[in-house]
Amino acid sequence: MSSASETLQLAEHRLYASVFLQANATAEATWFQNPTCLCGCGEALVRHRNPEKQRLFKAGHDARLKSVAAGVLAGEVPEHAIPEIARMLRSRIGFLRTRPELSKAF
Ligand SMILES: [Zn+2]
């Protein structure tokens, strides 16, 4: 049995989910217009026409984010030390493929 209010709740839930996804997509699109290093240092990156080939870090800075992630998992670093944009783009971060356990920090 499904009541009208349950149906409404489900519709609202779907709406919130799509708004959230859109907000993330917008933040990502903004980042690709003006990419900065994902380690959080704020340094600008050279923009690549092809988003697939866009660099995510200044040379060597992926190691910084990696050690921040390890610190978060060890409880030595607060979770918010991971930049929001790094969370959004985590599926593209190379070291999370080789060290999947670090993705728990994101
Ligand atoms: Zn950096």
Which three-class secondary structure state does DSSP give residue 10?
helix
pLDDT for residue 45 is more than 80: yes
Q: Which two three-digit tokens encode residue 72?
A: 């978060």
Average pLDDT, the chain: 92
pLDDT (mean) for 40-51: 95
What radius of gyration, in Å, describes the C-alpha atoms of the chain? 17
Q: Residue 5: pLDDT band by 50, 70, 90 thresholds?
A: confident
Single pTM value for the model:
0.79
Which protein residues have a CB closer than 5 Å to ligand 1 (ion)?
A: 37, 39, 41, 58, 61
- What mean pLDDT is predicted for residues 19-34? 89
Kindly give the distance from the C-alpha atom of residue 25 to the centroid of ligand 1, in angstroms, as a whole number.
Answer: 22
Residue range 55-80: mean pLDDT, rounded = 97
Which alpha helices (H) appear in the chain, and where do they start and end? 4-33, 61-74, 84-88, 94-98
